[in-house]
A and B are shown apart, each in its own frame.
Chain A
Amino acid sequence: MKKCPGPLTWQAVVDGEEDGARYAAHLERCPACRAVYDEIREAADLAGRLRCSVVLPPGFAGAVAEKARTRLATARSLPAGLVAALMFVVTGASALLLSQGYWSWWLSVGLTRSCSLLMDAFFGITYLGKNLNQAWLLVPALLLVLLEIAALKKLKTVEEC
């Protein structure tokens, strides 16, 4: 080795990232490099005091798993909320789009009333911050509402004829 290695190379030797045997001979005969090496070794030993051996309290893994479950359930209730909101908009808008006469009839239909109750309950529970893992039940309700709208449209078409 003709040229003296730089401090970063000596640091890599100290940290075991470079093969120390490759530089051992040079370190033996070069006092300048020895001084740099010793200085780096001393600074590394000092920084080695940062090592700490603390461990997490028992039950940490269980607590994290429980919290993750809660967050996941809350995240799942968001799409369910969007479905419910969509149902509300669809039912309201379709009732307005159909003639005025249907509006009162619309409200009196048992099916719609049931869906309204379901939506009210859904919004109520969401507002109270409960988790709604069963929110998928709203999907068939939405299908029923859409079916009802289709039936109303058909009825209107028949009346117009």
Chain B
Amino acid sequence: MPQDLLREMVEQHGNAIYRLAQRYTGDRFLAEDIAQETFLRACARLQSYDRSRPAGPWLFRIALNLCRNRRRAAREIPVEERFAAEADPGPGPEHIYLQQETEQELAAALRSLPPVYREVLILKHVNELSYAEISAVLGLNLSLVKNRLYRGRIMLREALQKGENKR
């Protein structure tokens, strides 16, 4: 097994896990470590994993747990030392410039949110999961997912506005 299944899982979910970790931690090296550890842990727990179920939610759950723990451990590292996630550059050069300018603000605004809202926002907007998938990853009921997403978006908007007012 494990090697073939592991390779398949990395090919299928590797980038998604990496993006989740990068948005969560704001550090690309830490994100790579987390992505690697996610698959290693998954590999070690394959015997207890029900293969008839999709691997995605299970892997996201492992990655989120790692992000929570690593972030706790790295709390003392100053924000400036971390790398901001690379945003989707979009089409034109003007767009690229605007995105680069706002990227750090966006990362700071996201970090200012309580983790419960941050996680729902990342799963929705970075990993593009449906409500049902987010609910499966976080083990929450659907109405709580909708609520957290609603509040999270409003909090993110307010945090971004605060950042703009400071400039």
Partner-B contacts on A (CB < 8 A): 7-8, 11-12, 15, 17, 40, 42-44, 46-57, 60-61, 63-65, 67-69, 71-72, 75
* A48 contacts across to B, CB distance below 8 A: 125
Q: Which residues of B contact A57 (CB under 8 A)?
A: 32
In the complex, the chain B residue whose C-beta lies closest to that of A8 is B146
Chain B residues in 8 Å Cβ range of A42: 157
Interface size class of B (residues with CB under 8 A): 35 or more
Are A61 and B10 closer than 8 Å at their CB atoms? Answer: yes
At the interface, is chain B mostly helix, strand, loop or mixed?
helix
Q: Could you tell me if A55 and B87 are in contact, using CB atoms closer than 8 angstroms?
A: no
Main secondary structure of the interface of A (DSSP, over half): helix
Query: In the bound complex, do residue A53 and residue B126 qualify as a contact, i.e. CB atoms below 8 Å apart?
Result: no
Distance between A120 CB and nearest chain B CB, rounded to angstroms: 30
A49 touches B150 (CB 8 A): no
Q: Is the CB of B150 within 8 A of A65?
A: no
CB distance from B4 to the nearest CB of A (A): 9
Chain B: residues with CB nearer than 8 A to chain A? 2-3, 6-7, 10-11, 14-15, 18-19, 22-23, 28, 32, 35-36, 39-40, 43-44, 85-89, 99, 102, 106, 110, 121-122, 124-126, 128, 130-131, 143, 146-147, 149-150, 152-154, 156-157, 160
Q: A17-B131, A52-B88, A61-B14 are in contact. Are A46 and B156 (CB under 8 A)?
A: yes
A12, A15, A47, A65: which contacts B121 (Cβ < 8 A)? A47
Q: Can you give 12 A-B contacts (C-beta < 8 A)?
A: A8-B143, A40-B153, A43-B156, A46-B160, A48-B125, A49-B99, A52-B86, A60-B10, A61-B14, A67-B40, A68-B39, A69-B3
Which listed residue, A8, A54, A60, A75, touches B86 by the CB 8 Å rule?
Answer: A54
Nearest first, the 8 A-B pairs at minimum CB distance are A43-B153, A50-B125, A61-B10, A53-B88, A68-B43, A52-B85, A8-B146, A47-B153
Q: Which residues of B contact A53 (CB under 8 A)?
A: 19, 86-89
Contact A50 B122 (CB under 8 A): yes
Q: Find out whether the CB atom of B156 lies under 8 angstroms from the CB atom of A56.
A: no
Q: Do the beta carbons of B146 and A12 come within 8 Å of each other? A: yes
Residues of B within 8 A of A75 (CB): 44
**Pair B150/A68 contact, Cβ less than 8 Å:** no
Q: How far is the CB of A4 from chain B (nearest CB, A)?
A: 16
In the assembled complex, the Cα of A53 lies from the Cα of B22 at a distance in Å of 11
Instruction: Report the minimal beta-carbon distance from B47 to chain A, rounded to whole angstroms.
Output: 12
CA distance A11 to B143 in the complex (A): 12
Q: A11-B146, A56-B18 are in contact. Are A71 and B44 (CB under 8 A)?
A: yes
